[in-house]
Chain A
């Protein structure tokens, strides 16, 4: 009877430890929940700092605005003549 009780105790202890270790190993190797959930819901670009002028087109949907003018300077050389009418502030 004593042997039977001891056998049951040893069996319970062994299966408990084995189950716990098995579960630990399983969880350690399973895919991390955070990596699958975060990707579709968090928009990284919206959190990144925007360039100063980036919001401007959004204000009035004026997508031409600032950024298309910038390349004009190197792309188009100025006319050779110099107009008499000049604007510069005073």
Chain B
């Protein structure tokens, strides 16, 4: 029987699932929750003590990063290249400019803070970040500020699932829709994942049958707020430096790795129907679904086979 454990972290709902001995699993749940809390504290940009904030403060000089942060930045660099720059962690100033300068829970409670400067921040080249594998050093070009929000949740979900797997051969971690699945539920050929309607959270558009691996969704309908009378959302288009205007409302990606799924969900959403197929061909073993403004479901090659 599948056991579940829910809690809130990273400003989203976390769901842990595992099959096996209940006592073992309960211990696994506790350890996994503690791990997620610890990783969030290290990679959040909303805490000045976090390792990410320390990296941002060290802009223009070498910063000795932990193994985890170094790995995350390396993966981010790979996806920055693979996505043709549509995934770009250096858009933090633009994100803050749009009003996302505190956690989403705080924005929902107190509203966004208007900024005095009206100019869109200068675009920086994330590809110019330098790395020193020997020391784990990272050098951000002067002025560059990083937001790992587009990749860290997937990375944490996968890392946490691998930790939970020490307690249960079949388990999953779902971090607000970005999930990593290990093994298969007893007697099942696949995990069942509901694909939510971005226009109505109570509505399910499809149920996906997916094997072990990752699923992630990016949407422009969830993290939204008002600023100076304008509706804003968290998905910044690196090409314009402003919240993206997308034809699709959400994109869901099924991929082997959670980081890849999360990053490409965002990049494909930005690419839109014109360029999504070409972009998807940059990443092997990836299937995606997109929902348009009318709630219609679209998909890449082989996506139909995953719909239950």
Contacts and interface: CB of A to CB of B under 8 A. Distances in A.
Interface stretch (B41-49, B59-67, B298-306): B298-306
A48 B174 CA distance: 46
Interface residues of B, number: 60
Interface string A76-90: 101101111111111
Contacts of B183: none
A52 B301 CA distance: 18
A85 B296 contact: no
A20 B278 CA distance: 63
A29 B272 CA distance: 54
Contacts of A27: none
Contact of B276 (A56, A81, A82, A83): A56
Contacts of A2: none
A27 to B, nearest CB: 49
Interface stretch (B29-37, B131-139, B140-148, B216-224): B216-224
A73 interface: yes
Contact of A56 (B215, B219, B277): B277
Given A73-B296, A83-B207, A65 B301 contact: yes
Contact of B304 (A57, A72, A90): A72
Interface in B179-206: 179, 181, 191-196, 198, 201, 204-206
Contacts of A25: none
Contact of A90 (B4, B177, B206): B177
A88 B298 contact: no
Contacts of B299: 65-66, 69
Nearest to A69: B299
Contacts of B20: none
Given A53-B298, A65-B299, A90-B177, A85 B196 contact: no
B194 A73 contact: no
Contacts of A60: 277-278, 281, 301
Given A60-B281, A87-B196, A66 B273 contact: yes
A88 B215 contact: no
Nearest to B297: A69
B153 A90 contact: yes
A89 to B, nearest CB: 3
Contact of B222 (A52, A59, A73, A88): A88
B12 interface: yes
B178 interface: yes
B172 interface: yes
A70 B204 contact: no
Contact of A88 (B196, B208, B274): B196
B308 interface: yes
Nearest to A81: B192
Contacts of A78: 204, 206-207
Given A89-B217, A89-B222, A59 B191 contact: no
Given A87-B179, A89-B177, 11 more contacts: A52-B273, A53-B298, A56-B273, A59-B277, A65-B298, A65-B299, A82-B194, A85-B179, A85-B191, A87-B216, A89-B222
7 contacts: A60-B277, A66-B299, A86-B204, A87-B215, A87-B252, A90-B222, A90-B223
